[in-house]
Amino acid sequence: MQVFMPNIATKKARSYLAFINTCMETFKNITDRQKTDAWLKSNGINANQIYVGTAELFQAQKLATNTLKNHVKLLEQNQAATLNNFLRAANGAKRSKITQGQCFKVLNITKQAQRKYAKLIKRKLGSAG
């Protein structure tokens, strides 16, 4: 297999290849960033928020977003309100003031919703069999 090389001196060829490599690396970085930003957005996190918060905050934000998307019918009214209020704070100016206790409260609510969902699935599978 022959690689295309323009008819130029070796020094110029190296700089040409270095330029091509730089362009390809930049393109790869841009596409990787777009994929990452899309994943973060699907989990309710803005790319600009990535530098503010703890691991618990990110986990709570992701789970609250997914629970409200997928299992909102399993939540009580006050639980849904708590998750919505949390997400509003997490996406706003009060993000840095969210406490670990608030994050754990959200994590507990999402865990309860996951348990309710698992029980429903178990009942459906049990009655189908």
Report the predicted TM-score, pTM, of the whole model to 2 decimal places.
Answer: 0.69
Which amino acid is present at 113?
A
Contact 31, 23 (CB under 8 A): no
Using CA atoms, how far apart are residues 16 and 115, in angstroms rounded to an integer? 59
Write the DSSP symbol of residue 53. S
Contact 125, 83 (CB under 8 A): no
For 35-74, what is each residue's pLDDT tens digit? 988 888 887 877 777 777 888 999 999 999 999 999 999 9
Using CA atoms, how far apart are residues 1 and 105, in angstroms rounded to an integer? 61
Confidence of residue 129 (pLDDT cuts 50, 70, 90): low
DSSP per position, 52-85: SS-HHHHHHHHHHHHHHHH-GGGS-HHHHHHHHH
Structure tokens at 107: 């994590």
Say whether pLDDT at 84 is over 80.
Answer: yes
